């Protein structure tokens, strides 16, 4: 059954995505200013440290005196205008989030279906999920230090989608006309967005050098964010894999067929499970655990993008422009 495309809404969707890219970049600049100038080193003599004995510890997000400096750095003082820039980054991020959501909704309304039937729509949705995860966690955890990196990742992801993956709004193949797309693909998008957040934080862990002054929090804080995010996203990814198997049985008459997409989804699940298992039972901490999480993240990226672009299979319906 052919779907009538609303060209006006499709155009609005494309424009909203472009505006969202600009907003994410603006938010990234604000967050970067806070990271660079939010804590200015002050020439404080050693006697001042004596008077601060017993003062409350610095917050985990690294905004405050002496936080994240590895313990041996001089106290630092927040620059008011830079902190204001960080707050502006949060506001702009919410505006970009709204633009991202509006772009997804108008795309769906334009074609009268769930708006993740091809790679362009899927990547736009994953960027939205990653930023959503960041903003939601920001209301509960002091992770504003991630803002510059998450918004940059979202801007690059949307830019890549617009430049290389964009296809005109239109109908999808009959196999995708199923309620399972709302269940399976939505779960995969939510889990992927959370995994992106964990991946960004894991990369920052490798960049961060303990014992040196830095605008980033300590490695312990970064590792804790990685672990908590994966703990949340792993069950969602597990559900996505199970739902995909159930959809495969409905569509192709079997739960498992060694299709490349199925294989790499399972490989991704295994490596993330290995990370959680190693951390919980073998007591792996620090760099070793972070490396496993990054291997899992690489498998996720290959499953989401590489398989669709480079490998043919039953899931080769991504409509990637040639």
- Residue 259 has a pLDDT of 84
Listed residue (212, 228, 216, 203) closest to 279, CA to CA: 228
- Residue 217 has a pLDDT of 85
- Residue 56 has a pLDDT of 46
Task: Return the residue matching tokens 């902190």.
Answer: 83
DSSP per-residue codes, 102-151: HHHHHHHHHHTS-S-SSHHHHHHHHHHHHHHHHHHHHTTS--GGGHHHHH
Mean pLDDT (10-residue bins), the chain, 322 residues: 78 96 97 81 33 42 39 51 91 97 95 86 94 93 91 95 88 74 90 94 89 78 93 96 88 82 93 93 85 96 84 60 57
Name the residue ranges covered by the structural domains of the chain: 7-42+63-310
CA distance 108 to 70: 48
User: In Å, how far are 97, 104, 116, 173 from 111, measured between CA atoms?
Assistant: 22, 11, 11, 13
In the chain, alpha helices (H): 7-37, 46-51, 80-111, 119-138, 147-160, 180, 186-207, 219-252, 260-280, 287-301, 307-310
Contact 290, 223 (CB under 8 A): yes
- Residue 318 has a pLDDT of 58
Q: What is the pLDDT of residues 149-178, one digit of tens each?
A: 999 999 999 999 999 888 888 777 766 677
- Residue 321 has a pLDDT of 60
The terminus-to-terminus CA distance of the chain in angstroms comes to 26
Q: What is the pLDDT of residues 263-277, one digit of tens each?
A: 999 999 999 999 999
Q: What is the pLDDT of residues 113-126, one digit of tens each?
A: 888 888 899 999 99
Exposure class string for 79-103: b at 16+ Cβ within 10 A, else e: beebbebbebbbebbeebbebbbbb
Phi and psi at residue 76, in whole multiples of 5°?
-130, 155
The pair of structure tokens assigned to 248 is 């495969």
């Amino acid at each position: 059954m052919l779907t009538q495309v609303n060209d006006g809404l499709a155009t609005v969707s494309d424009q909203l995505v472009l505006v969202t890219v600009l907003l994410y970049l603006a938010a990234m600049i604000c967050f970067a200013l806070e990271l660079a100038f939010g804590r200015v080193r002050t020439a404080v003599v050693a006697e001042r440290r004596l008077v601060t004995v017993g003062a409350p510890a610095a917050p985990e997000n690294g905004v405050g005196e002496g936080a994240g400096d590895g313990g041996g750095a001089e106290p630092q003082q927040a620059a008011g205008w830079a902190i204001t820039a960080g707050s502006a980054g949060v506001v702009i991020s919410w505006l970009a989030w709204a633009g991202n959501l509006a772009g997804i909704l108008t795309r769906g309304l334009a074609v009268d279906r769930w708006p993740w039937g091809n790679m362009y729509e899927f990547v736009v949705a994953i960027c939205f999920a990653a930023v959503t995860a960041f903003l939601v966690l920001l209301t509960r955890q002091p992770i504003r230090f991630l803002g510059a990196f998450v918004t940059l990742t979202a801007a690059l992801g949307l830019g890549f989608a617009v430049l290389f993956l964009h296809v005109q709004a239109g109908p999808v193949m009959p196999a995708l006309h199923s309620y399972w797309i709302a269940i399976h693909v939505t779960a995969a998008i939510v889990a992927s967005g959370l995994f992106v957040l964990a991946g960004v934080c894991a990369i920052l862990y490798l960049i961060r050098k303990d014992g040196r002054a830095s605008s980033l929090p300590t490695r312990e804080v970064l590792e804790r964010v990685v672990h908590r995010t994966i703990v949340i996203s792993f069950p969602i990814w597990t559900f996505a894999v199970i739902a995909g198997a159930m959809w495969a049985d409905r569509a192709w008459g079997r739960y498992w067929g060694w299709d490349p997409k199925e294989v790499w989804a399972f490989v991704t699940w295994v490596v993330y499970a290995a990370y959680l298992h190693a951390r919980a039972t073998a007591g792996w901490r620090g760099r070793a655990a972070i490396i496993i999480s990054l291997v899992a993240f690489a498998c996720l990226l290959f499953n989401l993008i590489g398989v669709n672009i480079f490998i043919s299979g039953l899931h080769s319906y991504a409509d990637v422009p040639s």
